[in-house]
Amino acid sequence: MADTVRVKNIGLRGVTVADTKISFIDGEQGILIYRGYRIEELAERSSFMETAYLLLDGALPDRQELDAFTARVVAARQVPEFILNNLKTWPASAHPMDVLQACVPLLGIADPELRVETRESNLNQAIRLIARIPVVVAAWHRVRNGLEPLPPDNTLTHAGNFLWQMSGVKPDPEMARDLDVCLVLHADHTFNASTFACREVVSTRAHMYAGVTAGIGALSGSLHGGANAEVIKMLMRLKSEPDVAGWVRQQLANNQKIMGMGHAVYKTMDPRARFLKEMAERLGKKLGREHWFQLSSAIETAALQEFEQRGKTTIKPNVDFYSAPVYHLMGITADLMTTIFAMSRIAGWCAHIIEEKFAEAQGKPALYRPEAEYVGEYCGLMGCAYEPLQARD
């Protein structure tokens, strides 16, 4: 039996629970690596399709392998008709993350390999999930606005096709490339809450779709992927605020968080935030809407100053801080922002699910089963005396 390690109520910070070959973070130096490659290199030179292949396969593809992988994703974009029809009966007020979380099991029951537990069939399922999650998100956005879902445009990139299927407008190539870079940046992040949720679920030998459903639930929270939606709400609230620094000061004085700042692992600038900051500025300039970048930078400057004064010098902008203005400039509504995170992180989730199921980084699969200290009512090992209901009236 394994030794008992006592690390309670610290959200598993600093507790290593598994080995992984998929990604690596150096939180002190602000370094993120996927399968050996620095995130900066991938953001500048790779694409989401190539990065997804890298995460799932473990190595960069050659031209033929990349073309074949991309063709498989493109071919898998067709979401079963019963799901699209079903969406039309759902309340238009439903949050896109809830809709996405509800749709993943529906995609699962339509997957012919749902319970085929080979690596190959799990990879096929991963490809279908990567292909279909953006289609479901775009379809829901249209259906809730009283519009028909659009067929994919297979001449566009993964990101470009999402923008098209969401808006019905052929995207500006630079914007589509920027969204593709966002997808590269969000694709994996070691044992973050949602990835851990996916791995924990499939450690029970549940199928990939069950794991991904749990991951979407974990991602939706405002301390994780939901933070980007909170950031845009903050920007909307502050767009005509004359005293941004005063608002930040007050927020911290009230023990409230500045969303999009701070990180459980990074103790310096999140390496992904640098790209998103540059993108927010560039896109803003191009569209003549620089005020969102200016407002974000003003919040950042004020917050860093306040954190400094409070001795909290490790709290810096994270990936969600500048992704929010970037997505807003791309015409993505606040409540869709976390789904963009999901349509990227699905690549990492699936890679981790496969690694967990097939013990690709450890000797053999292991069911996660931590312990908790019981601090509740206790009457001894014989248990408390049970009083019948009538006697308790």
- Please state, in angstroms and rounded to a whole number, the distance separating the CA atoms of residues 129 and 59: 20
**Segment contacting ligand COA (CB under 6 A): 49-57, 253-261, 374-382, 384-392?**
253-261
Active site residue: 158, 189, 224, 263, which one? 263
Nearer to ligand COA, 177 or 267 (CB): 267
- Please state, in angstroms and rounded to a whole number, the distance separating the CA atoms of residues 289 and 282: 10
Residue 390 DSSP symbol: G
244, 264, 269, 298: residue in contact with ligand COA (rule CB under 6 A): 264
Residue 310, CA atoms < 13 Å, CB-side half-sphere: 14
30 belongs to the binding site for ligand COA (CB under 6 A) = no
262, 271, 284, 348: residue in contact with ligand COA (rule CB under 6 A): 262
**Segment contacting ligand COA (CB under 6 A): 61-69, 88-96, 310-318, 358-366?**
310-318
**How many amino acids of this chain bind ligand COA (CB under 6 A)?**
16
233 belongs to the binding site for ligand COA (CB under 6 A) = no
Contact 320, 189 (CB under 8 A): no
Active site annotation includes 263: yes
142 belongs to the binding site for ligand COA (CB under 6 A) = no
- Please state, in angstroms and rounded to a whole number, the distance separating the CA atoms of residues 177 and 198: 29
Residue whose beta carbon is closest to ligand COA: 262
Nearer to ligand COA, 156 or 261 (CB): 261
The identity of residue 40, as a single letter, is E
Number of residues in the chain: 393
244 belongs to the binding site for ligand COA (CB under 6 A) = no
Least Å distance between CB 211 and ligand COA? 21
Looking at residues 48 to 67 of the shown chain, list those that interact with ligand COA (rule: CB under 6 A).
Answer: none
CA angle 15, 18, 22 (to 5 degrees): 115
32 belongs to the binding site for ligand COA (CB under 6 A) = no
- Please state, in angstroms and rounded to a whole number, the distance separating the CA atoms of residues 70 and 72: 5
**Segment contacting ligand COA (CB under 6 A): 101-109, 147-155, 195-203, 256-264?**
256-264
Active site residue: 188, 320, 328, 352, which one? 320
315, 326, 351, 353: residue in contact with ligand COA (rule CB under 6 A): 315
Active site annotation includes 270: no
Binding mask 189-228 for ligand COA (x = CB under 6 A): ----------------------------------x---x-
325 belongs to the binding site for ligand COA (CB under 6 A) = no
203, 318, 339, 344: residue in contact with ligand COA (rule CB under 6 A): 318
187 belongs to the binding site for ligand COA (CB under 6 A) = no
Least Å distance between CB 217 and ligand COA? 16
Least Å distance between CB 257 and ligand COA? 4
Nearer to ligand COA, 262 or 284 (CB): 262
Q: Which of 56, 136, 69, 125 is nearest to 98 (CA)?
A: 136
Nearer to ligand COA, 107 or 324 (CB): 324
Per DSSP, which regions of 3-49 are E strands? Answer: 23-26, 31-34, 37-38
- Give all strands of the β-sheet with 37-38 in edge-to-edge order: 23-26, 31-34, 37-38
Tell me how crowded residue 230 is: count the other CB atoms within 10 A of its CB. Answer: 20
Note the helical H segments in the chain: 39-45, 48-57, 63-75, 81-87, 96-109, 119-144, 158-167, 173-186, 193-202, 208-219, 227-238, 244-253, 271-287, 291-309, 319-329, 337-357
Residue 323 makes CB contacts below 8 A (sequence gap 6+) with: 182, 186, 228, 231, 276, 337, 340, 341
259, 299, 324, 346: residue in contact with ligand COA (rule CB under 6 A): 259
Residues that bind ligand COA (CB under 6 A): 223, 227, 252, 257-264, 312, 315, 318-320
- The residues annotated as belonging to the active site are 263, 320
